[in-house]
Amino acid sequence: MRHLYIFLFVAVFVSCKNEKVKKTQKKQDSIKVVAQKDSLIYPEEVHFKSIRQVTFGGDNAEAYWSFDDKQLIFQSNNTQWGVGCDQMFLMNADQTFDSIPPPMVSTGKGRTTCAYFLPDNRHFVYGSTHLAQEECPDAPLRRNGKYVWPIYDSYDIFVADLNGNITKQLTNEKGYDAEATVSPKGDKIVFTSMRSGDLELYTMNLDGTDVKQITNELGYDGGAFFSPDGTKLIFRSSRPKTEEEIKAYKDLLAQGLVEPTEMELYICNADGSDLRQLTDLGNANWSPFFHPSGKKILFSSNFEAERGFPFNLYMIDIDGKNLKRITHGETFDAFPVFSNDGKYLAFSSNRNNGGTRDTNLFIAEWQD
Protein backbone atom coordinates (compact mmCIF):
# COMPACT_ATOMS: atom_id res chain seq x y z
CA MET A 1 0.00 0.00 0.00
CA ARG A 2 1.51 3.33 -1.01
CA HIS A 3 -1.37 5.57 0.13
CA LEU A 4 -0.74 8.32 -2.40
CA TYR A 5 -3.44 10.86 -1.60
CA ILE A 6 -2.96 10.48 2.15
CA PHE A 7 0.78 10.84 1.77
CA LEU A 8 0.37 14.06 -0.20
CA PHE A 9 -1.81 15.49 2.56
CA VAL A 10 0.64 14.41 5.22
CA ALA A 11 3.68 15.78 3.48
CA VAL A 12 2.40 19.34 3.34
CA PHE A 13 2.47 19.55 7.10
CA VAL A 14 5.58 17.58 7.98
CA SER A 15 8.40 19.71 9.39
CA CYS A 16 12.03 18.89 8.70
CA LYS A 17 13.03 17.12 11.89
CA ASN A 18 16.59 16.23 11.02
CA GLU A 19 19.01 19.07 10.43
CA LYS A 20 21.82 16.69 9.47
CA VAL A 21 20.28 16.21 6.02
CA LYS A 22 21.35 19.73 5.11
CA LYS A 23 24.93 18.52 5.40
CA THR A 24 24.27 15.20 3.72
CA GLN A 25 23.55 16.44 0.23
CA LYS A 26 25.75 19.10 -1.32
CA LYS A 27 24.54 21.25 -4.16
CA GLN A 28 25.05 19.37 -7.37
CA ASP A 29 26.97 22.06 -9.21
CA SER A 30 28.61 19.36 -11.26
CA ILE A 31 25.37 18.51 -13.08
CA LYS A 32 25.42 19.78 -16.63
CA VAL A 33 22.18 21.60 -17.27
CA VAL A 34 20.83 20.75 -20.69
CA ALA A 35 18.07 22.75 -22.34
CA GLN A 36 15.11 20.46 -23.00
CA LYS A 37 12.59 20.88 -25.78
CA ASP A 38 9.92 19.03 -23.78
CA SER A 39 8.05 21.47 -21.53
CA LEU A 40 7.23 18.67 -19.07
CA ILE A 41 10.93 18.15 -18.36
CA TYR A 42 12.71 20.59 -16.06
CA PRO A 43 16.13 21.71 -17.38
CA GLU A 44 18.10 19.83 -14.69
CA GLU A 45 16.36 16.51 -15.43
CA VAL A 46 19.13 15.23 -17.68
CA HIS A 47 18.11 11.56 -17.43
CA PHE A 48 14.81 12.21 -19.22
CA LYS A 49 15.18 12.19 -22.99
CA SER A 50 11.45 12.69 -23.51
CA ILE A 51 8.33 12.49 -21.38
CA ARG A 52 4.63 11.81 -21.93
CA GLN A 53 1.72 12.56 -19.60
CA VAL A 54 -0.64 9.59 -19.36
CA THR A 55 -3.51 10.70 -17.08
CA PHE A 56 -5.20 14.06 -16.59
CA GLY A 57 -7.07 14.13 -13.30
CA GLY A 58 -7.49 12.40 -9.95
CA ASP A 59 -4.74 10.58 -8.05
CA ASN A 60 -2.97 8.04 -10.22
CA ALA A 61 -0.03 5.97 -9.03
CA GLU A 62 1.93 2.74 -8.99
CA ALA A 63 1.98 2.03 -12.70
CA TYR A 64 3.65 -1.36 -13.18
CA TRP A 65 4.74 -2.84 -16.48
CA SER A 66 3.79 -6.20 -17.91
CA PHE A 67 6.74 -8.56 -18.36
CA ASP A 68 6.68 -7.86 -22.12
CA ASP A 69 6.45 -4.05 -21.52
CA LYS A 70 3.32 -3.80 -23.71
CA GLN A 71 0.90 -2.83 -20.94
CA LEU A 72 0.78 -1.20 -17.50
CA ILE A 73 -1.60 -1.58 -14.61
CA PHE A 74 -2.16 1.25 -12.15
CA GLN A 75 -4.45 2.48 -9.40
CA SER A 76 -6.62 5.58 -9.51
CA ASN A 77 -9.35 7.28 -7.51
CA ASN A 78 -10.48 9.51 -10.40
CA THR A 79 -14.15 10.16 -9.64
CA GLN A 80 -14.80 10.86 -13.32
CA TRP A 81 -14.03 7.20 -13.93
CA GLY A 82 -16.86 6.19 -11.59
CA VAL A 83 -14.86 5.16 -8.52
CA GLY A 84 -14.99 6.39 -4.93
CA CYS A 85 -11.52 5.19 -3.93
CA ASP A 86 -8.54 3.42 -5.47
CA GLN A 87 -9.34 0.80 -8.10
CA MET A 88 -7.15 -0.88 -10.71
CA PHE A 89 -7.00 0.16 -14.36
CA LEU A 90 -5.29 -1.36 -17.40
CA MET A 91 -3.58 0.51 -20.24
CA ASN A 92 -1.45 -0.15 -23.27
CA ALA A 93 2.02 1.35 -23.01
CA ASP A 94 1.32 3.97 -25.69
CA GLN A 95 -2.07 5.16 -24.41
CA THR A 96 -3.14 8.40 -22.72
CA PHE A 97 -6.39 9.15 -20.91
CA ASP A 98 -7.45 12.79 -21.15
CA SER A 99 -11.04 12.12 -22.24
CA ILE A 100 -12.01 8.46 -22.00
CA PRO A 101 -11.31 6.21 -18.99
CA PRO A 102 -9.17 3.07 -19.23
CA PRO A 103 -10.81 -0.29 -18.48
CA MET A 104 -11.15 -1.07 -14.77
CA VAL A 105 -9.82 -4.54 -13.93
CA SER A 106 -10.62 -4.72 -10.21
CA THR A 107 -14.05 -5.46 -8.79
CA GLY A 108 -15.04 -1.84 -8.15
CA LYS A 109 -15.78 -2.86 -4.56
CA GLY A 110 -13.84 -1.96 -1.43
CA ARG A 111 -10.40 -0.39 -1.81
CA THR A 112 -7.53 -1.87 -3.81
CA THR A 113 -3.77 -1.42 -3.84
CA CYS A 114 -0.55 -2.54 -5.48
CA ALA A 115 -1.38 -4.48 -8.63
CA TYR A 116 1.51 -6.28 -10.33
CA PHE A 117 1.64 -8.38 -13.50
CA LEU A 118 2.41 -12.08 -13.41
CA PRO A 119 4.90 -13.51 -15.93
CA ASP A 120 2.21 -14.76 -18.33
CA ASN A 121 1.16 -11.11 -18.96
CA ARG A 122 -2.47 -12.28 -18.72
CA HIS A 123 -2.91 -12.16 -14.95
CA PHE A 124 -1.97 -9.85 -12.10
CA VAL A 125 -1.91 -9.84 -8.31
CA TYR A 126 -3.37 -7.07 -6.18
CA GLY A 127 -4.63 -6.30 -2.68
CA SER A 128 -8.30 -5.66 -2.04
CA THR A 129 -10.72 -5.19 0.86
CA HIS A 130 -13.82 -6.18 -1.14
CA LEU A 131 -14.50 -9.40 0.79
CA ALA A 132 -15.09 -7.40 3.97
CA GLN A 133 -17.27 -4.64 2.51
CA GLU A 134 -18.32 -3.31 -0.86
CA GLU A 135 -18.00 0.33 0.22
CA CYS A 136 -14.73 2.23 0.40
CA PRO A 137 -13.29 1.91 3.92
CA ASP A 138 -12.59 5.09 5.85
CA ALA A 139 -9.21 6.72 5.25
CA PRO A 140 -8.21 8.54 8.45
CA LEU A 141 -5.62 11.27 8.10
CA ARG A 142 -4.92 11.96 11.76
CA ARG A 143 -5.06 10.11 15.05
CA ASN A 144 -4.07 11.71 18.36
CA GLY A 145 -2.42 14.57 16.52
CA LYS A 146 -0.36 12.27 14.27
CA TYR A 147 -0.63 11.94 10.51
CA VAL A 148 -1.25 8.31 9.69
CA TRP A 149 -1.75 5.65 7.04
CA PRO A 150 -4.49 3.04 7.59
CA ILE A 151 -3.42 -0.60 7.49
CA TYR A 152 -6.72 -2.31 6.76
CA ASP A 153 -6.96 -5.79 8.26
CA SER A 154 -9.46 -6.61 5.50
CA TYR A 155 -6.78 -6.56 2.78
CA ASP A 156 -6.01 -9.87 1.09
CA ILE A 157 -4.07 -10.65 -2.06
CA PHE A 158 -5.84 -11.95 -5.16
CA VAL A 159 -5.01 -13.05 -8.69
CA ALA A 160 -7.20 -11.74 -11.50
CA ASP A 161 -7.21 -11.94 -15.29
CA LEU A 162 -7.13 -8.88 -17.54
CA ASN A 163 -10.93 -8.85 -17.69
CA GLY A 164 -11.05 -8.37 -13.93
CA ASN A 165 -12.18 -11.90 -13.08
CA ILE A 166 -10.62 -13.12 -9.82
CA THR A 167 -9.07 -16.51 -10.44
CA LYS A 168 -7.44 -17.20 -7.07
CA GLN A 169 -7.13 -15.85 -3.52
CA LEU A 170 -3.52 -16.11 -2.38
CA THR A 171 -3.86 -15.04 1.28
CA ASN A 172 -6.51 -15.64 3.91
CA GLU A 173 -4.65 -15.03 7.15
CA LYS A 174 -6.18 -12.74 9.74
CA GLY A 175 -4.96 -9.16 9.32
CA TYR A 176 -3.30 -7.06 6.65
CA ASP A 177 -1.89 -8.76 3.53
CA ALA A 178 -0.99 -6.44 0.65
CA GLU A 179 1.84 -4.69 -1.23
CA ALA A 180 2.57 -7.68 -3.44
CA THR A 181 5.20 -7.43 -6.20
CA VAL A 182 6.66 -10.15 -8.41
CA SER A 183 10.27 -11.15 -9.00
CA PRO A 184 11.61 -10.50 -12.53
CA LYS A 185 12.65 -14.16 -12.44
CA GLY A 186 8.93 -14.96 -12.37
CA ASP A 187 9.11 -17.36 -9.44
CA LYS A 188 8.31 -15.41 -6.25
CA ILE A 189 6.01 -12.76 -4.80
CA VAL A 190 7.07 -10.48 -1.95
CA PHE A 191 4.40 -8.87 0.22
CA THR A 192 3.76 -7.21 3.59
CA SER A 193 1.71 -8.98 6.23
CA MET A 194 0.56 -8.56 9.84
CA ARG A 195 0.29 -12.31 10.46
CA SER A 196 3.15 -12.24 12.99
CA GLY A 197 1.64 -9.30 14.88
CA ASP A 198 3.95 -6.80 13.21
CA LEU A 199 4.27 -5.51 9.63
CA GLU A 200 6.90 -7.78 8.10
CA LEU A 201 7.95 -8.87 4.62
CA TYR A 202 7.18 -12.35 3.34
CA THR A 203 7.73 -14.22 0.09
CA MET A 204 5.61 -16.93 -1.50
CA ASN A 205 5.35 -18.85 -4.75
CA LEU A 206 3.07 -17.51 -7.46
CA ASP A 207 0.34 -19.91 -6.32
CA GLY A 208 0.54 -18.78 -2.68
CA THR A 209 2.52 -21.76 -1.39
CA ASP A 210 5.87 -21.85 0.43
CA VAL A 211 5.32 -18.69 2.49
CA LYS A 212 8.53 -17.52 4.19
CA GLN A 213 9.08 -14.61 6.57
CA ILE A 214 11.86 -12.31 5.36
CA THR A 215 12.10 -9.56 8.03
CA ASN A 216 11.59 -9.87 11.77
CA GLU A 217 12.45 -6.53 13.40
CA LEU A 218 9.87 -4.23 14.98
CA GLY A 219 8.60 -1.62 12.54
CA TYR A 220 6.72 -1.20 9.29
CA ASP A 221 8.53 -3.01 6.45
CA GLY A 222 6.80 -2.44 3.14
CA GLY A 223 6.86 -1.41 -0.49
CA ALA A 224 9.38 -4.12 -1.42
CA PHE A 225 10.73 -4.84 -4.90
CA PHE A 226 13.09 -7.47 -6.27
CA SER A 227 16.32 -6.62 -8.07
CA PRO A 228 16.39 -7.33 -11.83
CA ASP A 229 18.08 -10.71 -11.22
CA GLY A 230 15.70 -11.57 -8.37
CA THR A 231 18.48 -11.97 -5.79
CA LYS A 232 17.84 -8.85 -3.65
CA LEU A 233 15.00 -6.86 -2.13
CA ILE A 234 14.76 -3.12 -1.58
CA PHE A 235 12.08 -1.74 0.75
CA ARG A 236 11.08 1.14 3.00
CA SER A 237 10.87 0.87 6.75
CA SER A 238 9.96 2.92 9.78
CA ARG A 239 11.78 1.17 12.62
CA PRO A 240 11.28 2.68 16.07
CA LYS A 241 14.32 2.68 18.35
CA THR A 242 13.58 4.52 21.60
CA GLU A 243 11.03 3.41 24.19
CA GLU A 244 8.87 6.40 23.29
CA GLU A 245 9.02 5.59 19.57
CA ILE A 246 8.26 1.92 20.19
CA LYS A 247 5.24 2.75 22.34
CA ALA A 248 3.92 5.22 19.78
CA TYR A 249 4.37 2.70 16.96
CA LYS A 250 2.63 -0.11 18.86
CA ASP A 251 -0.23 2.13 19.99
CA LEU A 252 -0.95 3.20 16.42
CA LEU A 253 -0.55 -0.31 15.04
CA ALA A 254 -3.13 -1.57 17.54
CA GLN A 255 -5.54 0.86 15.87
CA GLY A 256 -4.61 -0.35 12.38
CA LEU A 257 -2.44 2.69 11.65
CA VAL A 258 1.17 3.61 10.95
CA GLU A 259 2.90 6.99 10.85
CA PRO A 260 4.73 7.57 7.54
CA THR A 261 6.73 10.70 8.24
CA GLU A 262 10.12 9.07 8.99
CA MET A 263 11.17 6.16 6.77
CA GLU A 264 14.51 4.91 5.47
CA LEU A 265 15.42 2.36 2.80
CA TYR A 266 16.75 -1.11 3.57
CA ILE A 267 18.22 -3.76 1.29
CA CYS A 268 18.70 -7.49 1.77
CA ASN A 269 19.04 -10.75 -0.11
CA ALA A 270 15.80 -12.29 -1.33
CA ASP A 271 15.85 -14.74 1.58
CA GLY A 272 16.27 -11.94 4.14
CA SER A 273 19.99 -12.44 4.76
CA ASP A 274 22.57 -9.64 4.70
CA LEU A 275 20.00 -7.02 5.75
CA ARG A 276 21.36 -3.49 5.98
CA GLN A 277 20.11 0.07 6.05
CA LEU A 278 20.75 1.84 2.75
CA THR A 279 19.79 5.45 3.54
CA ASP A 280 20.12 7.62 6.63
CA LEU A 281 18.73 10.87 5.30
CA GLY A 282 15.88 11.73 7.66
CA ASN A 283 12.25 12.51 6.85
CA ALA A 284 10.48 10.16 4.42
CA ASN A 285 12.45 8.01 1.98
CA TRP A 286 10.19 5.58 0.16
CA SER A 287 8.90 4.06 -3.14
CA PRO A 288 12.29 2.55 -4.07
CA PHE A 289 12.89 0.66 -7.32
CA PHE A 290 16.01 -0.92 -8.78
CA HIS A 291 17.79 0.68 -11.72
CA PRO A 292 18.03 -1.82 -14.64
CA SER A 293 21.72 -2.37 -13.81
CA GLY A 294 20.78 -3.72 -10.39
CA LYS A 295 23.52 -1.51 -8.94
CA LYS A 296 21.47 1.59 -8.15
CA ILE A 297 18.13 2.48 -6.55
CA LEU A 298 15.66 5.17 -7.55
CA PHE A 299 13.43 6.43 -4.76
CA SER A 300 11.30 9.36 -3.62
CA SER A 301 12.31 11.60 -0.71
CA ASN A 302 11.64 14.91 0.97
CA PHE A 303 14.91 14.86 2.94
CA GLU A 304 15.99 18.21 1.48
CA ALA A 305 12.64 19.86 2.23
CA GLU A 306 12.28 22.24 5.15
CA ARG A 307 8.49 21.94 5.41
CA GLY A 308 7.84 18.43 4.14
CA PHE A 309 7.65 19.39 0.47
CA PRO A 310 8.74 18.87 -2.25
CA PHE A 311 9.23 15.18 -2.87
CA ASN A 312 11.67 14.43 -5.66
CA LEU A 313 13.26 11.34 -7.18
CA TYR A 314 16.82 10.45 -6.21
CA MET A 315 19.26 7.74 -7.22
CA ILE A 316 21.79 6.02 -4.98
CA ASP A 317 24.22 3.11 -5.37
CA ILE A 318 23.34 -0.08 -3.52
CA ASP A 319 26.35 0.53 -1.26
CA GLY A 320 24.81 3.84 -0.15
CA LYS A 321 27.20 6.04 -2.15
CA ASN A 322 26.75 8.55 -4.98
CA LEU A 323 23.41 10.04 -3.99
CA LYS A 324 22.05 12.05 -6.92
CA ARG A 325 18.88 14.05 -7.45
CA ILE A 326 16.93 13.00 -10.57
CA THR A 327 13.82 15.23 -10.67
CA HIS A 328 13.62 18.91 -9.83
CA GLY A 329 9.96 19.66 -9.21
CA GLU A 330 8.51 21.91 -6.52
CA THR A 331 5.73 19.56 -5.44
CA PHE A 332 5.67 15.77 -5.75
CA ASP A 333 7.44 13.06 -7.78
CA ALA A 334 7.28 9.43 -6.64
CA PHE A 335 6.69 5.77 -7.60
CA PRO A 336 9.49 5.37 -10.17
CA VAL A 337 9.23 2.06 -12.06
CA PHE A 338 11.50 1.03 -14.92
CA SER A 339 10.24 -0.96 -17.86
CA ASN A 340 11.79 -4.41 -18.03
CA ASP A 341 13.94 -3.40 -20.99
CA GLY A 342 15.21 -0.39 -19.03
CA LYS A 343 14.24 2.14 -21.70
CA TYR A 344 11.36 3.86 -19.92
CA LEU A 345 10.51 5.10 -16.44
CA ALA A 346 6.90 5.38 -15.28
CA PHE A 347 6.31 7.67 -12.31
CA SER A 348 3.68 9.85 -10.65
CA SER A 349 3.93 13.62 -10.45
CA ASN A 350 2.07 16.82 -9.64
CA ARG A 351 3.70 18.57 -12.61
CA ASN A 352 1.36 20.12 -15.18
CA ASN A 353 -1.74 19.73 -12.98
CA GLY A 354 -2.92 23.33 -13.35
CA GLY A 355 -2.35 24.10 -9.69
CA THR A 356 -4.75 21.39 -8.51
CA ARG A 357 -3.90 18.48 -6.21
CA ASP A 358 -4.13 15.99 -9.07
CA THR A 359 -1.30 13.47 -9.31
CA ASN A 360 -0.86 12.01 -12.77
CA LEU A 361 1.13 9.28 -14.44
CA PHE A 362 4.05 10.11 -16.70
CA ILE A 363 6.30 7.92 -18.81
CA ALA A 364 9.81 9.21 -19.48
CA GLU A 365 12.33 7.89 -21.97
CA TRP A 366 15.38 7.19 -19.79
CA GLN A 367 18.98 7.95 -20.61
CA ASP A 368 21.93 7.18 -18.32
For 59-84, the DSSP string reads BEEEEEE-TTSSEEEEEE--GGGT-S
User: Quick one: pLDDT at residue 141?
Assistant: 76
User: Quick one: pLDDT at residue 309?
Assistant: 83
Residue 9 has phi, psi (to 5 degrees) of: -65, -45
User: Quick one: pLDDT at residue 154?
Assistant: 97
Residue 296 has pLDDT above 60, yes or no: yes
Across 145-228, where does the E strand assignment appear? 146-147, 149-150, 156-161, 166-169, 177-182, 188-193, 200-205, 212-213, 220-226
DSSP 332: B
Q: Which residues of 203-240 are buried (b: 16+ CB within 10 A; e: fewer)?
A: bbebebeebeebbeebbbbbbbbbbbebebbbbbbbbb
Residue 159 has pLDDT above 50, yes or no: yes
Task: Name the domain count of the chain.
Answer: 1
Quickly count: other Cβ atoms within 10 Å of residue 365's Cβ. 14
Give the separation between CA 139 and CA 6, rounded to whole angstroms: 8
CA-based torsion, 357, 363, 364, 366: positive or negative:
positive
Give the separation between CA 37 and CA 50, rounded to whole angstroms: 9
Residue 267 has pLDDT above 50, yes or no: yes
Residue 272 has pLDDT above 60, yes or no: yes
Render pLDDT for 100-146 as a digit per residue (tens, 0 to 9).
Answer: 999 999 999 999 999 999 999 999 999 999 999 999 999 877 776 67
Give the separation between CA 235 and CA 201, rounded to whole angstroms: 9
With contact defined as beta carbons under 8 Å apart, do 77 and 360 qualify? no
Instruction: State what percent of residues in the chain have pLDDT above 70.
Output: 89
Residue 89 has pLDDT above 90, yes or no: yes
Kindly tell me the number of DSSP H helices and DSSP E strands found in the chain: 3, 27
Residue 204 forms beta bridges with which residues?
189
> Collapsing DSSP states into helix, strand and coil, what is residue 127?
strand
Q: Which residues of 69-100 are buried (b: 16+ CB within 10 A; e: fewer)?
A: bebbbbbbbbeebebebbbbbbbebeebbeee
User: Quick one: pLDDT at residue 306?
Assistant: 81
User: Quick one: pLDDT at residue 132?
Assistant: 96
Residue 2 has pLDDT above 60, yes or no: no
Render pLDDT for 7-60 as a digit per residue (tens, 0 to 9).
Answer: 554 443 333 333 333 334 433 333 333 334 578 999 999 999 999 999 999 999
Give the separation between CA 147 and CA 14, rounded to whole angstroms: 9
Residue 175 has pLDDT above 90, yes or no: yes
User: Quick one: pLDDT at residue 3?
Assistant: 52
Residue 264 has phi, psi (to 5 degrees) of: -125, 165
Give the separation between CA 25 and CA 322, rounded to whole angstroms: 10
pTM: 0.91
Give the separation between CA 156 and CA 204, rounded to whole angstroms: 14
Give the separation between CA 12 and CA 36, rounded to whole angstroms: 29
* Window from 22-26, 62-66, 172-176, 312-316 with minimum mean pLDDT: 22-26
Instruction: State what percent of residues in the chain have pLDDT above 90.
Output: 83
Residue 200: CATH number of its domain? 2.120.10.30
Range of the structural domain that residue 69 is part of: 4-366
Residue 285 has pLDDT above 90, yes or no: yes
